[in-house]
Amino acid sequence: MTETKDKSADARRAFLRLLGGAVACAGAAAAGKVAVTQAEAATAPSTVTPPAIPGYDWTKHRWAFGVDATKCIGCLRCVEACKRENDVIGDAHHFRTWVERYVYLEGEETPRVDSHSDPVNIEASGSEHEYRFANRYKDAKVEKAFFVPKLCNHCTHPACVQVCPTGATYRTNDGVVVIDHTYCIGCQYCVQACPYGARFFNEEKQVTDKCTWCYHRITKGLQPACVEVCPVGARIFGDLYDKQSPVSLFIRNNRTRVLKPESGNAPNVYYVGLDKDVI
Partner 1 sequence: MEPVPNIAPFIGYVYPNETVIPWTVLVVVYPYLTGLVAGAFTVSSLYQVFGMQRFKPVAHLALLTSLCCMLVVPVPLLIHLGHPERALNAMITPHTTSAFAIFGYAASFYVLLLLLENWFVFRPHIVREVQRTSGVLRLFYRGLTLGSDDLSEKAMSYDRKWIFALAVIGIPAAHGLHGYVGFVFGSLKSREWWSSDLMPAIFLFSAIISGTALLIVIYVIACRLRKVAVDLPCVEGMAYTLWGFMMFTLLLEGVEFASLVYRGREGTEMILQFVKGPLIVPFVILQFGIGSATPLVILTFMIWRGIGGKTLIAGVLVSACLVLLSVLMMRWNVVIGGQEIAKTGKGLLSYTPTFLGREGLLVATGILAAPFVLLSIMVRLFPPWPQATKAA
Q: Which residues bind partner 1 (CB under 8 A)?
A: 5-6, 8-9, 11-13, 15-16, 19, 23, 30, 33-34, 37-38, 42-45, 89, 91-95, 98, 100, 113-117, 150, 159, 161-168, 183-189, 191-201, 203-208, 263-264, 279
Q: Please tell me the distance from the alpha carbon of residue 196 to that of residue 224, in angstroms, as a whole number.
A: 20
Classify strands 269-272 and 97-105 as parallel, antiparallel or unpaired: unpaired
**Contact indicator for 136, 120 with CB cutoff of 8 Å:** yes
Query: Whole-number minimum distance, CB 110 to partner 1, in Å?
Result: 8
- Judged by CB, which is closer to partner 1: 78, or 164? 164
Query: Whole-number minimum distance, CB 163 to partner 1, in Å?
Result: 5
Strands (E), 168-268: 169-171, 177-179, 200-202, 207-209, 235-239
Give the bridge partners for 150, in sequence order: 98
- Judged by CB, which is closer to partner 1: 167, or 246? 167
- Judged by CB, which is closer to partner 1: 193, or 258? 193
Query: Whole-number minimum distance, CB 55 to partner 1, in Å?
Result: 29
Query: Whole-number minimum distance, CB 94 to partner 1, in Å?
Result: 7
- Judged by CB, which is closer to partner 1: 31, or 222? 31
Query: Whole-number minimum distance, CB 223 to partner 1, in Å?
Result: 23
- Judged by CB, which is closer to partner 1: 134, or 249? 134
- Judged by CB, which is closer to partner 1: 45, or 231? 45
Of the CA atoms within 13 Å of residue 19, those in its CB half-sphere come to: 6
- Judged by CB, which is closer to partner 1: 153, or 248? 153
Q: How many CB atoms lie within 10 A of CB 5?
A: 9
- CB-based contacts of 229, cutoff 8 Å, min separation 6: 77, 78, 81
Query: Whole-number minimum distance, CB 51 to partner 1, in Å?
Result: 17
Best CA proximity match to 210, nearest among 218, 219, 201: 201
Query: Whole-number minimum distance, CB 116 to partner 1, in Å?
Result: 8
Would you say how long the chain is, in residues? 279
Give the bridge partners for 68, in sequence order: 272
Q: Where are the alpha helices (DSSP H) in the chain?
A: 2-40, 45-48, 77-85, 119-125, 159-163, 189-193, 215-218, 225-229, 246-253
Q: Please tell me the distance from the alpha carbon of residue 207 to that of residue 85, in angstroms, as a whole number.
A: 18
- Judged by CB, which is closer to partner 1: 11, or 222? 11
Query: Whole-number minimum distance, CB 91 to partner 1, in Å?
Result: 7
